[in-house]
Structure 1
């Protein structure tokens, strides 16, 4: 798995939009789940607004949902035999696998997504035929450079007594929290099949501050309620773009890379339009803008090079790429409910 990801990003380092089948004469509303806050801007500015200009009768409504609350609505509609209330949704690898198992995703019609041929096959394989690999993000260490005197170099620095009570974490209900749990396990001799070293190490990290989701954790950094902790590369970049003294470090053992997959939801009444959006999110034009400052979403289209200004947030050298870490999600996902339950029992109080 790690070798495949190395090949993917290397291709991006070494290197307009293809002709898109347009769904003309349509009208109505397309509902797309998106990110919260500033990270929604690439979807709105570079994906939705150009799309709406091409389709004057169509409105795309972006709905922020980091907790996956839309899934229950989609399940209820399917059980009642009604159309899905959601047309598209981005998911990290763990929830993507769960949604496949639940039968809630529509298989991608590759004939309607010609830009898929520009995405490295190893990324495409992660979709299992559902949706498209829209971007990748890193889990690394964010810190307040005015509050942290010595920049961290690895995960072990979070356990420095100087930061006790000022470390921020998210629950394992988030991909950020789950990824950090696996990273901690590996740091302490464990693995996806042996998380016990992580549980014991995180107990030693107490007291720490728990945020319900990554956006809330970023807000804690903004208010200086925490000074160091694992964070998405994108969230750290947005904080820095606001002029805040937030730096991002890719741990020496390797930052963790997670692919975001945009998928059409089964039962959508707008499948043609949904596929057009899937194709557009892979375009050179969209991905180049999403990879630029201040968002730094990792481009999955091999024709889009990583901009030099993204060096603090995305690997720009082959040596960095080789240090990237991945998670064996098919092993973790079936145990996620038990992992979240244990987290809540031991730490959420």
Structure 2
């Protein structure tokens, strides 16, 4: 992968799934820290794999706080200079927002002992890449036919099985953008999307928050959803009938990064946390079932359920320009919530 600009590291070139974490002040003792984590699959995986590895390697305990990326940014802004946690985990859009708002400590990639295992361009002065995500359509093969692409989701035979979620997550945002493109819209024109969504709204069985979608699928309340590969593999490991469909226009992909929060009191532990996350044993464990993360460590190959052979394959996936998306996204979120809530 070629080195990207400071503002678009992995994000624009290449979002997410819950127990409450301990409050920040509870993690101030020596050998402890706090980290934001995506609710659901990420929370489960990092508690099971990363936390014990960090404790074993560095004697550091981590308290997790499950928050989607946009919620991490909102919480950090509301904290007014007091770090609400030590480490962010972000998708490309919120990463750019965090940079613009100066929410990150300066980052020195040289402090990562595993830096050489990252592809070029996967670490810079604000953070480091820790995973990639691939987004497409999940469906229950026993209930519905395999969707050929995003446009199929507007057809009644698919819409009556579809779970809708909005623009609050990266996977939701890029899925809805791709759905808009399939009916003549674009990043600059979402009107065709909302027109088609209004036509099928009475058919769809659920409009819900992103964290609720896997549960609704597992319970059989929906049989189609737009999501990422690791949600599919995690549900499959639990015996759920689910498959991942790569849309005919291609699956979308993006990078996930970690950053040290401005004002963190545990900077050494934060570096150790990120370094452990990108280490070969942790990346290999996360890439294996049931988690099936897309690894960024060049020594680790993606699992069989991921539609790629190496991190370099992400070059051929659908990507998005978050410098164009971010200014419009709050309006899209508000409109979806107003017009699609059932």
TM range, smaller chain:
0.7 to 0.9
Q: CA deviation at 1:321?
A: 5.2
Q: CA deviation at 1:123?
A: 4.0
Q: CA deviation at 1:336?
A: 1.2
Q: CA deviation at 1:3?
A: 11
Q: Are positions 1:166 and 2:161 aligned together?
A: yes
1:91 matched to which residue of 2? 90
2:14 matched to which residue of 1? none
- Kept in 2, the 8 Å contact 1:70–1:86? The answer is no
Q: Are positions 1:220 and 2:203 aligned together?
A: no
TM-score if structure 1 supplies the norm length? 0.82
Of 242-251 and 337-346, the range deviating more from structure 2? 337-346
Consecutive unaligned residues in structure 2, runs of 5 or more: 5-9, 11-28
Q: Are positions 1:60 and 2:62 aligned together?
A: yes
Q: CA deviation at 1:165?
A: 3.0
CA distance in structure 2 between the partners assigned to 1:36 and 1:262 by the alignment: 16
Q: Secondary structure at the match of 1:267?
A: coil
Post-superposition CA distance 1:143-170 (Å, at most 9, x none) = 111211x222211221232133321121
Q: Are positions 1:176 and 2:171 aligned together?
A: yes
Q: Are positions 1:198 and 2:180 aligned together?
A: no
Q: CA deviation at 1:88?
A: 0.6
* CA shift in 2, pair 1:317/1:46, >3 Å: closer
Q: Secondary structure at the match of 1:78?
A: coil
* CA shift in 2, pair 1:252/1:3, >3 Å: farther
1:277-292 pair list within 5 angstroms = 277-292=273-288
Q: CA deviation at 1:85?
A: 2.9
Q: CA deviation at 1:137?
A: 1.1
1:20 matched to which residue of 2? none
1:210 matched to which residue of 2? 207
- Kept in 2, the 8 Å contact 1:89–1:264? The answer is yes
1:348 matched to which residue of 2? 341
CA distance in structure 1 between the partners assigned to 2:197 and 2:312 by the alignment: 29
Q: Secondary structure at the match of 1:243?
A: coil
CA distance in structure 1 between the partners assigned to 2:301 and 2:240 by the alignment: 27
* CA shift in 2, pair 1:203/1:292, >3 Å: same
TM-score if structure 2 supplies the norm length? 0.84
CA distance in structure 2 between the partners assigned to 1:91 and 1:175 by the alignment: 9
1:43 matched to which residue of 2? 46
CA distance in structure 2 between the partners assigned to 1:320 and 1:283 by the alignment: 21
* CA shift in 2, pair 1:333/1:344, >3 Å: same
Q: CA deviation at 1:275?
A: 0.9
2:244 matched to which residue of 1? 248
* CA shift in 2, pair 1:232/1:77, >3 Å: same
Consecutive unaligned residues in structure 1, runs of 5 or more: 9-25
Aligned residues: 317
Q: CA deviation at 1:317?
A: 8.0
CA distance in structure 2 between the partners assigned to 1:321 and 1:134 by the alignment: 14
Q: Secondary structure at the match of 2:125?
A: coil
1:142 matched to which residue of 2? 138
CA RMSD, 1 decimal: 2.6
Q: CA deviation at 1:246?
A: 0.9
Q: CA deviation at 1:319?
A: 12
CA distance in structure 1 between the partners assigned to 2:314 and 2:267 by the alignment: 36
- Kept in 1, the 8 Å contact 2:127–2:260? The answer is yes
* CA shift in 2, pair 1:31/1:315, >3 Å: same
Post-superposition CA distance 1:116-162 (Å, at most 9, x none) = 333223444xxx632211101111111111211x2222112212321
- Kept in 2, the 8 Å contact 1:170–1:176? The answer is no
1:115-130 pair list within 5 angstroms = 115-124=114-123, 129-130=125-126
